[in-house]
Chain A
């Protein structure tokens, strides 16, 4: 079993195999994303009743919370890839780590924008410099910093290694975001949603949230594979194997 995982892991380090895996998995992930998104949106907009306190504005939760969770989960995935890239020097993981940054930034932007819009009717303001909002804004800046740093290097491998170090430095912000509502008094509500323990969210409101969480996970993975494949094409554009693949599909 361990040997199979090890062999599979090493095989993924080969650019042509990695390219093929991305090519095969990507359409399935996009299809899964489309299905879960349609079901999630249908429940969120048509089935779930209005909240007794927040009325219909609570429906923003179904895009805000999954995006926020994915922004943080995406950072964790990117950090794992960065560790593998730095320790084992596997180029495909470097490429994946770099490709994860713009997707994570997009989810962070959705979280900040929708949270701000939700805040206006509920808090009376679009923005407050409280711990949760500020730490989330810092996450966006870290993502943008990683993208900028990588783009600044002409030698992409060197750029990826430096950016991977920045990813690991920025990892300190993730527990700060997670525990900010407990460590400081914030305008943002505390943790209330749980799928295993006690939850302040009614069970009838959870199904669309689960579907939207699945949708954002699939979107992240599908976009990651597509962006990684593009980055691989860009880096290996003068190599025979990529020309052979593209030549064959003309």
Chain B
């Protein structure tokens, strides 16, 4: 149940801003780590592919 407050618009706007910024603090590092890990794995796969390619087919 959502409590009914006086000055509700001010209170809930403040809490919404807090929630958005906190959520960003949680999500942003997760997204960055996923992107970094994907990039590194891609680089590793490319390197592995290069090393297994026969230079004299």
Contacts and interface: CB of A to CB of B under 8 A. Distances in A.
A230 B30 CA distance: 9
A110 interface: yes
B55 interface: no
A126 B5 CA distance: 20
B14 A113 contact: yes
Interface string B5-40: 111101101110110011011100110110011011
Given A57-B6, A64-B14, A233-B37, A223 B25 contact: yes
Interface residues of B, number: 28
A242 B39 CA distance: 13
B44 interface: yes
Interface string A209-250: 000000000010001001101100110010000110011001
A237 B37 CA distance: 9
Interface in A110-128: 110, 113-114, 117-118, 120-121
A110 B18 contact: yes
B57 interface: no
Contacts of A243: 40, 44
Contacts of B14: 60, 63-64, 113-114, 117-118
Contacts, number: 85
Contact of A246 (B29, B30, B37): B37
A59 B11 contact: yes
Contact of B40 (A46, A106, A233): A233
Contacts of B39: 237
A45 interface: yes
B25 A46 contact: no
Given A118-B10, A121-B7, A103 B25 contact: yes
B49 interface: no
A56 interface: yes
B29 A114 contact: no
Contacts of A109: 21
Main SS class of interface, A: helix
Nearest to B19: A63
Interface residues of A, number: 36
Interface of B: 3, 5-8, 10-11, 13-15, 17-18, 21-22, 24-26, 29-30, 32-33, 36-37, 39-41, 43-44
10 contacts: A46-B3, A57-B7, A59-B11, A114-B17, A117-B14, A121-B10, A223-B29, A233-B40, A237-B39, A237-B40
Interface of A: 30, 45-46, 50, 55-57, 59-60, 63-64, 67, 103, 106, 109-110, 113-114, 117-118, 120-121, 219, 223, 226-227, 229-230, 233-234, 237, 242-243, 246-247, 250
